[in-house]
Each structure stands twice: as structure tokens, then as C-alpha cells.
Structure 1
Amino acid sequence: MGHGGNVISELTADHREVDALFARIEEQPVGDERRRELADELTVELVRHSVAEEQYLYPAVRRYVDDGDDMADKEIEDHAAVERLLKDLEGRAADEPAFDDLVAKLRYQVTAHVRDEEDRLFPLLAAACSPAALDELGDRIRRAKKTAPTRPHPSAPDTPPADKILAPGAGLVDRARDLVTGRKH
């Protein structure tokens, strides 16, 4: 992740990347270890994306969009549900019966969240912000994804300022853990 452009272009490109990862998981035979590897890639992308949105997108929505507090709260609740699913999926082998069920639930949750952002939140943000503000948000999102955690942390703070303080440290620990375990990110 790190595509360039304003915040809406950046996050929409992330959404398409996640869609493609779900499709790649589903292309693999049931129980195949490649499904586990792809689920790990998906987890990395979803966690980085979520952390960046929570640090920068949702505060901007609260500031610029009418009823932005309610919208941001709903999106953060969606993230929490996804993160709990990711945490449950994290320790599962691809040949466990619960693995495919969790991937299906995850895809359903993520698809609904993406649709809501792209159909409702992004147009409202685009109408409320200048192109320069949207570009700056895109830059901040890209920077945040570089230091964000790569594993789910459901109990971590998801609102500023605590999320901006703790996420880079968790990201550093996660990347060290990924290096030791050989997990790709």
C-alpha cells in the first residue's frame, strides 16, 4: 500500500488491493497453506489501512463533515469488528474448518465497510475539503501506513492522540516479530 494521490484515491486503491487479496484467497484450494499466507498479507494490509484511517481520516471527517462524529464513530466500530475477526483468524491453520468461515465473515464485514466509505463518506469529505486538504490527508495516510502495526491489536486505542502515540511502537514490534517468524509484510 502506498499508491499516491489524495486521501480518497489512496484509500480507494487500498480497497481494490484488499478485494484482490480476498479473490486470491478464494482461488486457492480449501485447506491449502497458500490461503494462510494470503490471509497474513490481507491482515497486514487491513491493519495498516485501518490504523491510518483512524489516525487521520476519521478526525478529518469529524472536523469537516456534518454529523462527522457519528460517521467516524460508526466506521471505528466497523474497524473494531474487523480487527476481532482478524485476531481470531490469526492463529488458525488453513485446514481448520473455522478458517474459511472467518474469511467469509471478514469479507462480508470489509465489503460493507468499503461500500459505506466509498458511497457515503468519501463524497461528503470531498465536498467539504479543499483539494489541497485532501492531498495533505493522502500524504499523512501514506506516512502512517509505513509505521503502522502489521497485526491486529483489538484492545489498542483507536482514537487520537493515543493511537498516534502507540501505533508506531506496536508497528515496530510487529515488524520485528514478522522478521523473526518469516511472515511477509
Structure 2
Amino acid sequence: MTTTREKDVVELLVDQHNQIRQMFGEMDQAQGERKRQVFEDIVRMLAIHETAEEEVVHPVSARVINAGQQIVEQRLHEEDQAKHMLAELYDLGPDKPEFDIRFQALKNAVLQHAEREERDEFSQLREKVDADQLRRMADAVRLAEKTAPTRPHPKTPESAIGNILAGPPLAVFDRVRDAMRKATKGRKD
């Protein structure tokens, strides 16, 4: 009987980065309603992913890795910029002419951010944190994702405490809005 080891936090987040890269590739090819759906999937994935990182990963990184606080502050700044860009794109909508150019700027910023996280933060976490804690952190990320907002909220603080306080109410609001949008999709009022 073969047992499979559960993913640790680094493996989980790198897998999510790869999913995001794949979604960006799909977005480059999408048109019409498919483009809107892929964009909504990207918005949801990025909002949930970044919230979980801010709540679980960045606080540990700030404590244990070399220059951790500086690295985390840089990543938080990038995440804040991406939230603003994503919120503007969400309000604009993928059917507007200027959307594609602005989306490419977001895509480039997010991909560069992911590369820096993997290189500067995740690699050091792997070195400095034991395997059991990395697996527990993955569980904490999964739990944080369940209560994370599904839309960017650029006015919320870029911190674990800020996300823990603001995240659940925003998540309820976002998830109700998502359900209403899904239920009314296709209706012409």
C-alpha cells in the first residue's frame, strides 16, 4: 500500500502560481463570454490566494527568513498594487477596448511577483522551516482560503490581522454576490 504525502505550503502555493500562469495563458486566447468567465476565475483565484498568503505565509516569513520583514514588505506592496489593478479591471470589464492592455500590465506584475515570491521567500521557507510546520501551514492556507474574499478589496489592510478582521465579512458579501450573479446569469432584465 502506497501512501502519498500531503503537500506542504510551498508546494501548494507554487501549484497555485502554476494554475494562475495557466489561467493567464487561457485568458490570452479567450473571447466573448469565455473571456469574461476566465477573468472572473482569475479574480477569484488571486483574491483568495493573496489573502491566504497574507494571513499565513508572510507572517512566518517575516520572522524566520533572512531579511524577512523587508522581503514581506516588498511582496505586500506588490500585492497591494495588484489588488488595485485587479479592482480597476473588474470595474472596467473585459469587453472594454482598453481592458486588454491593462490586463497585460496586471499579468506581467502578477507573474513577476510570483517569481520573486518563489525565489526570495518560498525557497528560504523551505530551508528555515521544518517539514511538519510547512505541512501545517498548508492546512492553515486551505482554511484561510475558505473564509477569504473572492474579489479584490484594495482599501483593506495588507496584513494578517487586517485580513482576519475584514476578510470574513467581505467574503460573505462576495460569495452572496457571486451566487446572485450565477443565479441570474443569462437573464435579460
Q: TM-score over 0.5 for the alignment? A: yes
| Aligned with residue 19 of structure 2, among 8, 14, 17 | 17
Give the Å deviation of 1:168. 1.4
Task: State the distance in 2 between where 1:120 and 1:94 align.
Answer: 33
Q: How does 1:1-185 map to 2 (within 5 A)?
A: 5-29=7-31, 32-182=32-182
* SS of match in other structure, 2:81: helix
Which residue matches 2:3? none
Contact 1:33 1:94 in 2 (8 A): no
TM-score (normalised: structure 2): 0.90
CA distance in 1, matches of 2:70, 2:140: 23
Is the contact between residue 18 and residue 45 of structure 1 (CA under 8 Å) also seen in structure 2?
yes
User: Contact conserved, 1:87 with 1:154, CA < 8 A, in 2?
Assistant: yes
What percentage of residue pairs aligned between the two structures are identical? 27
Contact 1:56 1:141 in 2 (8 A): yes
Residues 68-123 of structure 1 deviation map (CA, whole Å, 9 limit, x = unaligned): 10010000001001101110111223231121012101110011001111122111
| 1:15 Cα deviation after fit | 0.4
Distance 1:87 1:154, change over 3 A: same
For 1:162 and 1:17, how far apart are their aligned partners in 2?
A: 26
Q: TM-score, normalised by structure 1?
A: 0.92
Q: Partners of 2:83 and 2:161 in 1: how far apart?
A: 20
Once the 2 structures are TM-superposed, how far is the Cα of residue 63 of structure 1 from its aligned partner? Answer: 1.1
The whole-number CA distance in structure 1 between the counterparts of 2:103 and 2:182 is 22
Q: What amino acid sits opposite 2:14 in the alignment?
A: T
Q: CA deviation at 1:179?
A: 0.7
Distance 2:11 2:75 in 1: 18
Deviation at 1:161, TM superposition (A): 1.8
Separation in 2, partners of 1:77, 1:87: 15
Give the counterpart letter for 2:68 in structure 1: G
Q: CA RMSD in A?
A: 1.5
Give yes or no for contact 1:149–1:172 (8 Å, CA) kept in 2.
yes
Aligned equivalents of 2:160 and 2:18: distance in 1? Answer: 27
Question: How many residues are aligned here?
Answer: 179
Please identify, of 72-81 and 175-184, the stretch whose mean Cα deviation from structure 2 is larger.
175-184
Of structures 1 and 2, the larger Rg is shown by: 2
Please list every run of at least 4 consecutive aligned residues from structure 1 whose deviation after the TM superposition is greater than 3 angstroms: none
